[in-house]
Amino acid sequence: MVERDTPCPRPPAWDLVRAAWAGRADAFELLVHQYTALLRYVVARRAAALPRFLDPDEVINETWYQVLRNVRGARFDATKDFASWICGICLNCMKQRHFRPQSLTGSDEAADLCAGLRDGAQPPDLAVQRLEVLAALRECLNERTDRERQAYSLLYVQGLTNVDTAKALGCAESYVRQKLVPHLHRALRACLARKGFRGSVGRELP
């Protein structure tokens, strides 16, 4: 009779945290491997209503840096849910370093964002796919002119009106509304289509 190999169970997250606190670098690396997908999901969910200048890797790297600082300083409570703890750190990083407070929408409760995603469970594919679209959109914006990128930032990141955007750019409102924005949208849609993003383009562009 041939015995089947059974996968080794993953150690609980707090056990890895304690091991990392004791100096085991491989334990922290395993935490990063198991929970980075969850952080990507949190970034996608929390920034769902935000415009597009979003670098998820920057948010996630900052989160892991803060987690490591907390672990080394023994600033953690192993009686709490680990997923909620790390999600809370991620949300704080987004608020403090990346977005104006009024830009963040939705619940502030890390537990709400992490519901059903305990112990390194994989997040829904759609949330991760959205980040891929946003990353591609950022690349497309980098191909546009300085004026177009500035207009995009004013309109969709800062939330200015066409009138205020025109004042900031030193041009007529009709130019922004009738020429600049439509041209930029067409260019971005074409760029995203070349990168293989067609079905999601309409949802991601304003």
**Segments forming the whole domain that contains residue 63:** 13-113
Residues 130 and 196 in one domain: yes
Residue 138: the pLDDT is 80
Task: Give domain status of residue 32, yes or no.
Answer: yes
pLDDT in tens, the chain (206 residues): 334 444 445 678 899 999 999 999 899 999 998 888 788 777 776 665 454 455 677 888 999 999 999 999 999 998 888 888 998 898 888 877 655 444 444 444 555 555 555 444 555 555 556 667 777 788 888 899 999 989 988 887 777 888 999 999 999 999 998 999 999 988 988 888 888 876 544 455 55
Tell me the two tokens of residue 37: 């997908």
- Written as one letter, the residue type at 155 is L
Q: How many domains does the chain have?
A: 2
Give dist(CA 70, CA 5) in Å, integer. Answer: 37
Tell me phi and psi for residue 142, to 5 degrees: -65, -20
Q: Find the CATH number of the domain harbouring 85.
A: 1.10.1740.10
Residues 97 and 130 in one domain: no
Residues 155 and 86 in one domain: no
Q: Find the CATH number of the domain harbouring 142.
A: 1.10.10.10
Domain boundary among 113, 142, 164: 113
Residues 104 and 154 in one domain: no
Query: What DSSP line would sit under 89-131, residue for residue?
Result: HHHHHHHHHTS-GGG--S---HHHHTTT--TTPPPPHHHHHHH
- Written as one letter, the residue type at 56 is P
Based on DSSP, count helices (H) and strands (E) in the chain, helices before strands.
11, 0
Residues 101 and 24 in one domain: yes
Residues 150 and 177 in one domain: yes
Residues 109 and 65 in one domain: yes
Residues 72 and 20 in one domain: yes
Residue 128: the pLDDT is 57
Domain boundary among 81, 113, 145: 113
Residues 102 and 47 in one domain: yes
In the block, residue with structure tokens 């304003």 = 206
Domain boundary among 113, 144, 173: 113
Give dist(CA 28, CA 18) in Å, integer. Answer: 9
